[in-house]
Chains A and B, each alone.
Chain A
Amino acid sequence: NAGVTQTPKFQVLKTGQSMTLQCAQDMNHEYMSWYRQDPGMGLRLIHYSVGAGITDQGEVPNGYNVSRSTTEDFPLRLLSAAPSQTSVYFCASSYMPGSRTDTQYFGPGTRLTVL
Chain B
Amino acid sequence: AQKVTQAQTEISVVEKEDVTLDCVYETRDTTYYLFWYKQPPSGELVFLIRRNSFDEQNEISGRYSWNFQKSTSSFNFTITASQVVDSAVYFCALRGHTGNQFYFGTGTSLTVIP
Measured CB to CB, the residues of A under 8 A from B are: 31, 33, 35, 40-43, 45, 48, 50, 58, 88, 90, 92, 96-98, 102-106, 108-109
Residue of A45, A50, A96, A109 touching B102 (CB-CB under 8 A): A45
Residue of B9, B37, B95 touching A97 (CB-CB under 8 A): B95
Q: Which partner residue on chain A sits nearest B93 by CB separation?
A: A104
Residue of B43, B44, B97 touching A98 (CB-CB under 8 A): B97
Q: What is the CA–CA distance of A35 and B37 in the complex, to the nearest angstrom?
A: 14
Q: What is the CA–CA distance of A105 and B99 in the complex, to the nearest angstrom?
A: 18
Q: What is the CA–CA distance of A92 and B97 in the complex, to the nearest angstrom?
A: 18
Q: What is the CA–CA distance of A90 and B45 in the complex, to the nearest angstrom?
A: 9
Q: Is there an interface contact between A58 and B101, defined as CB atoms closer than 8 Å?
A: yes
Residue of B43, B91, B97, B101 touching A45 (CB-CB under 8 A): B101
- A42-B107, A97-B95, A98-B31 known; A108 vs B44 contact (CB < 8 Å): yes
Interface size, chain B (Cβ < 8 Å): 24
Q: Is there an interface contact between B106 and A104, defined as CB atoms closer than 8 Å?
A: no
Q: Is there an interface contact between B106 and A42, defined as CB atoms closer than 8 Å?
A: yes
Interface centre among A33, A42, A88, by most B CB within 10 Å? Answer: A42
Residues of A with C-beta under 8 A to B47: 103-105
Q: Is there an interface contact between A102 and B95, defined as CB atoms closer than 8 Å?
A: yes
Residues of B with C-beta under 8 A to A97: 33, 95-100
Q: Is there an interface contact between A31 and B43, defined as CB atoms closer than 8 Å?
A: no
Interface centre among A31, A88, A104, by most B CB within 10 Å? Answer: A104
Q: List 25 A-B contacts (CB under 8 A).
A: A33-B102, A40-B106, A42-B91, A42-B105, A43-B104, A48-B100, A48-B101, A50-B100, A88-B43, A92-B45, A92-B102, A97-B96, A97-B97, A97-B98, A97-B100, A98-B31, A102-B95, A103-B47, A103-B50, A104-B35, A105-B47, A106-B37, A106-B45, A108-B44, A109-B43
